[in-house]
């Protein structure tokens, strides 16, 4: 009882209204919630924008079954050597999965490869013997 009396005395001496203080506290809590929601929305927009920018750097490649591909070997990235390529192959595409990975057949086994770690293999036809056309002089 004595503590209540001291609390009431402190409120009266400071001319402090409990209803006004409680309503102000509720307003402050609501403002903090609004700030938190705004921050959440802006962080979400930032993440979406960053993801769009990051995904632009990937080249979308469409592979077909039976196609020849080269596979990126990440182990050679650090110890490649001066003229050694980090792309190995060619490998034959056995199966294409819906979200990017492909299954390729190597000389001994089959394995899955992520879409960005594979690229199409084009046979260099310029190394083959060109056709020679003989034109008779007129």
Give tens-digit pLDDT for 21-30.
788 889 999 9
- Residue (of 58, 66, 65) closest to 115 by Cα position: 58
Residue 35 has pLDDT above 70, yes or no: yes
pLDDT tier at 114, thresholds 50, 70, 90: confident
Domain 68-123 sits in CATH at 2.30.30
**Cα→Cα distances 24→11, 13, 56, 112, Å:** 16, 20, 48, 61
User: Which pLDDT score, from 0 to 100, does residue 129 have?
Assistant: 52
pLDDT, averaged across the chain: 80
CB contact set of 96 (below 8 Å; sequence gap of 6+): 63, 64, 65, 102, 103
Give kind and range of the element (H or E) at residue 105.
strand 102-105
Q: Give pTM, 2 decimals.
A: 0.49
pLDDT tier at 131, thresholds 50, 70, 90: low
Question: Rounded CA gap, 104 and 106, in Å?
Answer: 6
Q: Which of 13-17, 40-44, 117-121 has the lowest average pLDDT?
A: 13-17
* Domain segments of the chain as ranges: 2-56, 68-123
């Amino acid at each position: 009882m004595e503590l209540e009396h001291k609390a009431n005395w402190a409120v009266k001496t400071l001319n402090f209204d409990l209803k006004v203080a409680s309503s102000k506290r509720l307003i402050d809590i609501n403002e903090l919630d609004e700030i938190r929601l705004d921050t959440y929305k802006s962080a979400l927009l930032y993440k979406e924008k960053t993801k769009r920018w990051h995904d632009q750097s990937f080249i979308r490649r469409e592979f077909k079954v039976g196609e020849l591909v080269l596979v990126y070997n990440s182990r050679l990235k650090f110890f490649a050597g001066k003229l050694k390529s980090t792309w190995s192959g060619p490998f034959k595409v056995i199966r294409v999965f819906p979200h990017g990975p492909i299954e390729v057949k190597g000389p001994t086994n089959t394995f899955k490869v992520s879409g960005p770690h594979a690229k199409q293999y084009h046979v260099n036809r310029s190394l083959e013997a060109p056709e020679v056309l003989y034109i008779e002089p007129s």
